[in-house]
Amino acid sequence: MFTSTGLDEALEGADFVFAAVRVGGLRGRVCDERVALDLNVLGQETTGPGGIAYGLRTIPVMLDIAHRVKALAPDAYVINFTNPAGMITEAMQGVLGDRVLGICDTPSGLGMRVAAALGLDPDRIRLDYVGLNHLGWMRRILHDGVDVLPGLLADDDLLGTLEEGVVFGREWLRDLGLIPNEYLYYYYFNREAVRATLDAPQTRGEFLLKQQEAFYERIAAASGGAAMEMWRETVASRSASYMAEMKGARTGEALDDHSGVDPAEEGYARVALNVMAAISRDEPASMILNVRNGTTVTALPPDAVVEVPVTVDAAASTRSPRPARPAPGRTDAAGQGRRTADRRRGRDRFADRGRQGLRPASPGRLGADRLAAARRLHRPDPRGRRRLLP
């Protein structure tokens, strides 16, 4: 737990709190990965046993922070980066209500990459996405009100330029009729994911641990300009190697979708700044965040945290969305996360939620053709692979 007065001084009177905490450090992540892999089980840090272990270590610390925020900055919004983002956001909402927003850059990043592939203005694109953090599906990509996803799925060349086209395969995505979050590879192709991770020279956690230690050694002797360049190189290397073993398992080599991009202008930083600007300036913006479910996904409890498009501004009320059918996949993962959170925080729910800054946007409905594709997921795969793992 945090005991220094420095944390309390930083929190007092804050309007926004950015929370990015790794309890146990990267060595804890390495342990989570290896313990699971030794049993031939996926050790990924937000999916499977690795995510559960990470959550069990992290929820008590984040609850301590939430109570400090409630006491010292009751009007603040907490923008949570801490993984597992869905579990942590839900646990903190038990203390702070809807003032806790979980962010992830993979859904919005997919939208940006699709816009670039199609040569479209990303500011004119609306994303219809639904799921849990790292376990969601892009159902429509609207450009000036027209869904461009069917055209993208039909184009071999364009689809092959996307990470998802490489990770899942073009025909798989066409059969699904949706674009899944890349982390769903760990479910759809679980055996391949475990095998690729075991065959890799090191786990993701081991790679990051070595990279981080080397960076700190180099930075200690660097001057200001050199230090910045070292940081950019480190972030670029980290991004280029992201899910490399999974992409390599499908293609024989990893893709780099981050070349030439300033790390200060992408990912979590961009999403967090957009949220802060929308609330503080009262400039409504649509973005995909981890928020309280309400009636958005009828298969999940109202207080579960889901990852969906929302309208963010400084309004003091919420607009109820139309109920949405869950996308094909494992909604029971939410229950697993909820049970872990409940054991740590108890079942008390705080009524005082304060000023809201979110109006959930309707994710729309699946068409008959997409529902048919979703139902086919529950049939045996002709390639001899189970599509949904128990």
Alpha helices in 73-169 (DSSP H): 85-96, 106-118, 149-154, 156-160, 163-168
Cβ(289)–Cβ(307) under 8 Å? Answer: yes
Query: Per residue in 368-383, is it b (16+ CB within 10 Å) or e — as a string?
Result: eebeebbeeeeeeeee
DSSP assignment letter at 131: E
116 CB-near residues (< 8 Å, 6+ apart): 122
Each residue's pLDDT expressed in tens, for the chain with a length of 390 residues: 455 677 888 899 999 999 999 999 999 999 999 999 999 998 888 888 888 999 999 999 999 999 999 999 999 999 999 999 999 999 999 999 999 999 998 888 888 888 888 889 988 889 999 999 999 999 999 998 899 999 999 999 999 888 899 889 999 999 999 999 989 999 899 999 999 999 999 999 999 999 999 999 888 887 767 888 888 888 888 877 777 666 655 544 444 444 344 444 557 788 888 899 999 998 888 889 999 999 899 889 999 999 999 999 887 333 334 434 444 443 343 444 444 344 334 333 322 323 334 444 443 333 334 334 433 433 333 333 323 322
> What are the Cα distances from residue 109, in Å, to 265, 266, 267, 346?
12, 8, 7, 35
Specify the pTM: 0.77
User: Counting beta carbons within 10 angstroms of the beta carbon of residue 315, is it exposed (0 to 12), middle (13 to 18) or buried (19 or more)?
Assistant: middle
Q: Where are the beta strands (DSSP E) in the chain?
A: 16-19, 77-80, 100-102, 125-132, 135-143, 146-147, 179-180, 285-292, 305-312, 358-360
CA 41/CA 187 separation, integer angstroms: 12
Main-chain dihedrals φ then ψ at residue 70, nearest 5 degrees: -60, -35
Cβ(290)–Cβ(86) under 8 Å? Answer: yes
Closest CA to 295 of 325, 335, 317: 325
